[in-house]
Amino acid sequence: MREEEIQCSGGWGYVRLADCTAQIRECPGDVEEASIPERLDGLTVTAVGEEAFQGRNSLTSVTIPDPVRRLGPRAFAKCRRLVSVRLPAGLEEIPDECFADCRQLKDIAIPGGVTRIGSGAFTGCAMTEITIPDSVALVGDNPFCGCPVLKRIRLAPGHPVLKLDGEALYSRPDRRLVSYPRNPEATEYDIVEGTRVIGGSAFYRCRRLTRVGIPDSVMEIGSIAFCRSGLTEIQLPGGLRALGRYAFADCDALGSMLIPEGVDRIPFGLCAGCERLALVSIPEGVTAIGDGAFCGCPSLDLVLMPRSVTEIGHGAFDGCPVLHIAADWGTFAHRYCWTQHIDCIFRDRDE
């Protein structure tokens, strides 16, 4: 039998793994309360495969037996009626997007042996609080991204790798801000001094948050970090070196974006869909502007473009009807304006 050949037993689809155990690949159709069996055809079930239960909207509860040590990415994603999950005591990690978009999931506890919680593991879930055990040594990009009613993350005092500042979760080893609650009581937040990275999705859909103070220590802002937040202003630190995709996309109230020197690329979709964005300043040293970086910004009136830019991606300024670009005569930006029929304001023309 080949390792990847799916077998069926009692409505459960599984594959036999190299260690003579079974990995669940499919569940019985239209099951509401799923209790995964400990054994199938004499094989101990030790894993649930990638996307095994994804999109099973009949599911309301799942019980996973203790021999299971591994879950696959998106194993239970988009199970939109799923309310409760019993995780096994021997579980080693909760992988990326494992329970993403389980909009009614509110009853779940992370077992004490889990060492990693993956990126977006609980995206959009309905828990009001969650406890992260001391065994967790690594967390990915915001595991609790977009959880609308999550009010409290609990850590044991002196957690070896994680810490809380109010309700904001930080990772100590990489000095990274991991997550901030979607619906905070405060409208402003100052990131802890010494933080080096604002993690991906950290402030995703924080609509009430209008200002975030970023310390000079921050060198990187991850993908979707502030996407769909309520920011009205942002001051990026002088030590910043990297910006992630869609970092400030769909920030409807954001009026300006002044990018500091030291950043050398503007990523894909950086400020896409920022309806009130009027001014963008791009520093000397930036060589490339990614696809759709500022697309869908109907109020964008002025972009200050440096001589160093030699690449502007597809649709970077699509949907910007009042746009003017300030550039030097004869530069790549000047030629780009000419070919794209964008009004160009010349800052330094040699006669």
Q: pLDDT tens for residues 313-333?
A: 999 999 999 999 999 999 999
- Domain presence at residue 149: yes
Q: Answer whether residue 191 shows pLDDT above 70.
A: yes
Indicate which CATH number applies to the domain containing 16: 3.80.10.10
Mean pLDDT of 290-302: 98
Span 47-95, pLDDT tens digits: 999 999 999 999 999 999 999 999 999 999 999 999 999 999 999 999 9
Is pLDDT of 351 > 80? no
Contacts of 185 (CB under 8 A, 6+ apart): none
- How confident is residue 157, by pLDDT bands cut at 50, 70 and 90? confident
Pairing relation of β-strands 129-132 and 7-9?
Answer: unpaired
pLDDT for the residue 334: 96
- What mean pLDDT comes out for the span 19-42? 94
pLDDT band at 246 (very low <50, low <70, confident <90, very high): very high
pLDDT for res 116: 98
Q: Which of 15-24, 46-55, 177-186 has the lowest mean pLDDT?
A: 177-186
SS3 at position 338:
helix
DSSP class of residue 273 equals T
**20, exposed or middle or buried, with CB in 10 Å at 0-12, 13-18, 19+?**
exposed
Q: Do the domain assignments include residue 33?
A: yes
pLDDT at 185 over 90: no
Q: How far is 6 from 19, CA to CA, in rounded Å?
A: 16
Average pLDDT over residues 228-239: 96
Q: Helix, strand, coil: what percent of the chain each, to 5? A: 5, 25, 70
Residue 228 lies in a domain: no
Check residue 2 and give its pLDDT: 45
Residue 29's pLDDT is: 83
Q: How many domains is the chain partitioned into structurally?
A: 1
Give the pLDDT mean for 198-205. 97
pTM here is 0.93
**Domain, as residue range, for 30:** 1-158
Compute the distance between CA of residue 194 and CA of residue 234 in angstroms, rounded to an integer.
18
Once rounded to an integer, what is the mean pLDDT over residues 166-170?
95
11 belongs to a structural domain: yes
Spatial separation of the C-alpha atoms in residues 82 and 108, rounded to whole Å: 11
Is residue 266 assigned to a domain? no
**Average pLDDT of the chain, as a whole number:** 95
Mean pLDDT over residues 113-121, rounded?
97
**Does some domain include residue 254?**
no
pLDDT > 70? residue 348: no
> How much is the pLDDT for 1?
38
339 found inside a domain: no
Q: Within a domain: residue 312?
A: no
